[in-house]
Amino acid sequence: MATNPILGLDVYVALAAVGWADGQLTREAADAILRTASEEGLDLNQLARIEDAVKTPVDVGVVDRMNMSKSDRLYVYAVASWIAALDGPPSAAAQEALDKLGTALGVPESPRHHADEIMRGIAAQDSRPERFDLTALRRTLDDRLETARQVRLAQAASEPGPEDPA
């Protein structure tokens, strides 16, 4: 499934906002946001702006999702969910920010729960939460989305069409 290779600056600022929601962004979360942005190929000016966002509290704000695939949006939500849970269950404020981001990304409730489950499964594989395997998260989300798409296609193909008598 094709994905946008570079997520926008606004996505990383929104991730920082989720981390800041409970009043403090952990060093691990800040490092993860910067590492993810760097791995995605953002330029030095954008990385500097993200670095500012991890140093001082920001709001989720507006997320430009126009060029984001369904997979991109789900991935961003799952990374935010992981950031919110880095130091234990998300606080009410962190959950509110996460919900706001999920809405801004256009990710419905059910896929959010599935993304949360996938994130927790991957996070449980390593005793060092700051080294969360973002590549495995992305790959797993992409695989699950493709599997769901194949199931929908198979179901649609097996349903009688308008000309077929039921």
Mean pLDDT per 10-residue section of the chain, whose length is 166 residues: 59 86 85 84 90 87 78 88 82 89 91 89 69 78 88 86 61
Q: Are 31 and 15 in contact (CB under 8 A)?
A: no
Per-residue pLDDT at 1: 42
Domains contained in the chain, CATH given: 9-156 (1.10.3680)
Q: Please give the Cα distance from 1 to 45 (Å, whole number).
A: 30
Q: CA 80, 82, 88 angle in degrees (round to 5)? A: 125
Segments in 21-164 forming alpha helices (H) = 27-40, 44-55, 70-84, 92-105, 109-123, 134-158
* Predicted TM-score of the model (pTM): 0.76
Nearest residue to 10 via CA among 82, 58, 78:
58
